[in-house]
Structures are given as C-alpha cells and as structure tokens.
Copies of this chain bind each other. A is one copy, B any other.
Amino acid sequence: MTPQEEALACAQRARQAARTLAYLDTGTKNGALLAMAGALKARQAEIMAANAEDLAQARQADYRQAFIDRLLLDEKRILEMAQGLQEVAALPDPVGTVISGSRRPNGLELAKVRVPLGVIGIIYESRPNVTVDAAGLCLKAGNAVVLRGGSEAIRSNVAIVEVIAAAAYQAGVPQGAIELIHSTDRAAVMELMRLTDYLDCLIPRGGAGLIRSVLENAQVPVIETGVGNCHVYVDESADLDMALEIVFNAKCQRPGICNAMETLLVHQAVAERFLPLMAARLVPAGVELRGDERTRQLLPDLAPATEEDWATEYLALILAVAVVDDLSAAMDHIARYGTRHSEAIVTSDYAHAQRFLEQVDAAAVYVNASTRFTDGGQFGLGAEIGISTQKLHARGPMGLAELTSCKWVVRGEGQVRG
C-alpha cells in the first residue's frame, strides 16, 4: 500500500464510521472515553516501551533537549492524558443541542440543531499527548478523526492509538472512528489534505511552518490555529505596578505558548519610568530585550529590534520593546504586525479601554489582564483542540462546540410554498 493509498483508506474508514458516530448516544461515547482512559493506564508499559524507541532515535539524531522533553511519555504524563479523557467524558455533549428554533407563520416547526462536523483531520508535530486529546474531543463531539502526527513520535502514536481505539471499539464506538496514518511519508499528508470527499475539515496543530504548509496545500477546509504574535500596550494612564505584573506574567509564565507576549509597547509619557522597572524585573528572569531607538535611549544596553523582530513569534524568553506616541500608534503597530491572537492594554482610562477593545482586531482583547488567559480551560470551555486565529467558523479557544456544525430540522404537516 502506498502512502497515498493508506491516507485514502484511513479517510474512507473514518467517513464510514462518521455516519453512525453522528448519532451515537452520549452514554456510549462517555463510556468509551472512560474505557480509553482506563486502557491507557492499564497498558502504559507498552506505550512507554514504544516511546523509549522514539526517544532513543531522537537522541541519536541529536535533537534539542526541549524537543526530547516534548516527546517524552512517563507515568505521570500518561496519567494526565487519561485524566484529560475523563474530563472530556464529564463535559456536556454538544450534539443535539437546539441552538435556536421557531414556529413559522405557516406552522412549520424549525429547530437549528448541533450536529458533528463529520470527519476531522488533525495534523500535528512531536507531542504524543495531542493524539489522545484530539481523539477524545473529536469522539465526544461525534466526529471521526484521522490523525497524522510527527514522524519522530510515530512509534508512540501507533502504540497509543492501538490502545485507545481498541478500548473505544470494544465500548461500542464504530470501527474507523479513530484512525492514525502510520506512513511518515510526506506523500500521505499531501494526499490527506486533498480528500475533500472524505474530510470535513483539517486542524493543524504546531508551529508556524506546519500551519503555513497546511494552508497552502489543503483543498479540505482548514481551521487555522495558534500563531500568536501578541502585544501588551502600557498606556499613559496605566497603574505601573499592575503593568509590571502583567508584562512579567505574559512574557515569563510560559513563554513557549502561543498566548505569551512577544512585543511590549509603552506610551512615551511613561516610558522613562516604566522601562527601567520592566528591565529590572525581566532581565533577571532570563529575558533578552530588544528595543527600538527610543527604548534604547532609556535602556542603552539593549540590542536593536529589527523589522523582523516586530513580526516574530519568539516562543522564547525574548521580548521586543517599542515606545509609541499614543494609543493610536500602539493600535497601528498591532494592526500591522499582530497575528490577531491576543492583545492587551494596561490602562486606567475608560475611553482608552473601550477604544482598544472595540478597534483591535484579534481573537481575544484584554484590558488589565495577562494575554496568557486565552485558553479553553481558562475561558471555561472545559478543554480545547486549539486556538483559532481565523475568523470563519471559530475564533479563539476551540472547545467541543467548535467541533460541531448544525442542521435545520423542519417538521411540517403538508406545507408547500405558495
């Protein structure tokens, strides 16, 4: 079987499963999720053995330690994956929810009802926990899933899917609901992205390069996720103590996540007071600062920030800093370089807060809070499959509802159109 044939076969099995999965009852789905969680724990030795082979190969190939860390599965991480499935089981089932409804003047009864999307393709990189998260969320929302993980994690992913799919099918989920493409050949993923007859959407999860590649090559509709070049703007009227806490948190609490701040914008009237405080707080925490000309007048030790810096999602302890004339200049900078992910203003001026919230175009806009809150759990969605930075279908953290579509159900008693 060629890689293309394998991708097609996976997608066909998933499409077939989706037909019955669409109306599988909640109890069976929840039972399957709990069975999957139990199987992960019961069969963790198999999974860790497969993971050890992936790790050995990664060490041989001389990957960075951060990469190896992401790849690693130990008892604790397997337990976390199992707990994730239990949490998804506890969430309300979105399928069948009536979104809206009415009785038309001619007596037709209309209900707009949530239904699964159908078949979802997930294309991701090295973290094997995505395999479990994505399978669990797709299943709960009534979707079949075709998984395509990174080649470095292939043995781990094969072992995980063997364990969770077997448990799910035994619990009454139709065969084909959880498919993993085993081929690590690029031809398989290229084929997957073209299978418009079998897939309803693709969700890429990973770095900017992966997402760009999927957007460029896919014929199947894509939900763009995750690239976050996020800004914090410290306004003239900001409480500078609060600003310091927010800036520190947005940059340092977990710099590798897409909702971390990458550029700090400071109003010129407070730059002289704020920038030295900021540097004194962030530099000892290991942050490398890069500044525009006005910033470097106040903090002469900084390296200059280039055009490329303003456009870069570092995902690391690096921060670009610019002094701006006013709110308008800050918003212009954000409009030019932002990726429409998460943007924050720190201010005590009501009108400025309102203007920023209204006029900044991003999935999440904040007043006086850290950008780090853009997250399905923090927003109360329970769990997330990713953070959409596009405007169609879903924007911001995507929970179970974002993995569904709708259907208009119309009940009549013989109505015809006049």
Contacts and interface: CB of A to CB of B under 8 A. Distances in A.
A361 interface: yes
Nearest to A19: B335
Nearest to A250: B416
A393 to B, nearest CB: 4
Interface in A389-418: 390-393, 395-396, 405-417
Interface in A244-259: 245-246, 248-250, 253-254
A413 B102 contact: no
Interface stretch (A153-161, A317-325, A372-380): A372-380
A357 interface: yes
Nearest to A366: B410
A362 interface: yes
A144 interface: no
Interface string A173-206: 0000000000000000000000010001100000
Interface residues of A, number: 69
B408 A108 contact: no
A58 interface: no
A367 B111 CA distance: 12
A405 B410 contact: no
Contacts of A414: 239, 242, 245-246, 368-369
Interface string A203-233: 0000000000001100101110000000000
Main secondary structure of the interface of A (DSSP, over half): mixed
Contacts of A362: 407
Interface of A: 19, 22-23, 102, 104, 108, 110, 112, 115, 117-118, 196, 200-201, 215-216, 219, 221-223, 239, 242, 245-246, 248-250, 253-254, 335, 353, 357-359, 361-370, 372-374, 378-380, 390-393, 395-396, 405-417
Given A366-B412, A369-B413, 20 more contacts: A19-B359, A22-B359, A22-B361, A104-B378, A196-B215, A200-B391, A221-B390, A245-B414, A246-B416, A250-B416, A365-B407, A365-B408, A366-B410, A367-B410, A368-B412, A368-B414, A369-B410, A369-B414, A372-B416, A373-B410
